[in-house]
Amino acid sequence: MTTTTTTTTGLALTDVSLRFGDGDYTVLALDRVNLRVPRGELVAIVGPSGAGKSSLLAVAGGLSRPSSGSVDVDGVDVTAMPARALAKLRRDKVGFVFQSGNLVPALTARDQLRLVPKITGRPGRDVDELLDSVGMSRRADRRPGQLSGGERQRVGIARALMGGPSLLLVDEPTAALDRKRSHEVVELLARETHEVGVATIMVTHDHDVLVHCDRILEMVDGQLQPHK
């Protein structure tokens, strides 16, 4: 593992299972998953379609409650947390980055980031400094439609880091990118993870970019195992 700026826990999943449906038609999307990701580590999760990767991100980020087991974010057990407190924790402690960047079409890169403190009510990081660290200073005044896919992902990553999260959950960040841009985006994720000291989990089908990750796990039928 590479350098960390803090020793705080990050994410801990203990014996987490997630079951969908009831009666005869149930799917065990997560099957007794145990995972610790300290702040400062980038963990990649690979695995076939339907294996449970998105379910893992949803449970880790407090979007889905596990059927059993416990979820701990930065030393706080969020498993049975009331909905409002959970929403606040998500806002304050968890950053999400999605496949397409999920940016607001009408806003410039700079304004996407400026929106975050308005939503959270907390000052957050310095916008121009953060745009600079993701290599987007010169494109700060462009809207998503005027940016390439890789640039949009950079802005999406910067936006997710604005509030200083403990946990960064990243879903297929390179799905729409060519090989060179894919490497650049995941290199950026690795650097920010190490420098900022955030616990990052990235789900990916892109085996090319695994070289930038600190640890690689494979999800098979709802169970996590080391990647062979």
Ligand X SMILES: Nc1ncnc2c1ncn2[C@@H]1O[C@H](COP(=O)(O)OP(=O)(O)OP(=O)(O)O)[C@@H](O)[C@H]1O
Q: Which residues bind ligand X (CB under 6 A)?
A: 20-21, 27, 29, 47, 49-55, 219
Pick 57 or 109: Cβ nearer ligand X: 57
DSSP assignment string, 32-85: EEEEEE-TT-EEEEE--TTSSHHHHHHHHTTSS--SEEEEEETTEE-TT--HHH
Closest approach, Cβ 72 to ligand X, in A, equals 20
The least distance separating ligand X from the CB of residue 47, rounded to whole angstroms, comes to 6
The CB-of-215 to ligand X minimum distance in angstroms stands at 18
Tokens of 154: 């950079």
The least CB distance from residue 177 to ligand X, in Å, is 17
Q: Is the dihedral of CA 66, 68, 71, 76 positive or negative?
A: positive
Q: 33 vs 158, which CB is nearer to ligand X?
A: 33
CA–CA separation, 91 and 122 (whole Å):
10
Of 5 and 34, CB closest to ligand X: 34
Give the whole-angstrom CA distance, residue 38 versus residue 198: 8
Q: Which of 185, 184, 162, 165 is nearest to 173 (CA)?
A: 185
Closer residue to ligand X, CB minimum distance, 29 or 161: 29
Distance CA 96, CA 92 (A): 12
Which tokens sit at 183? Answer: 């490497």
**Distances from the Cα of 179 to the Cαs of 66, 129, 207, in angstroms?**
35, 27, 11
Of the pair 97, 219, the CB lying nearest ligand X is at 219
CB of 45 to ligand X, least distance (A): 9
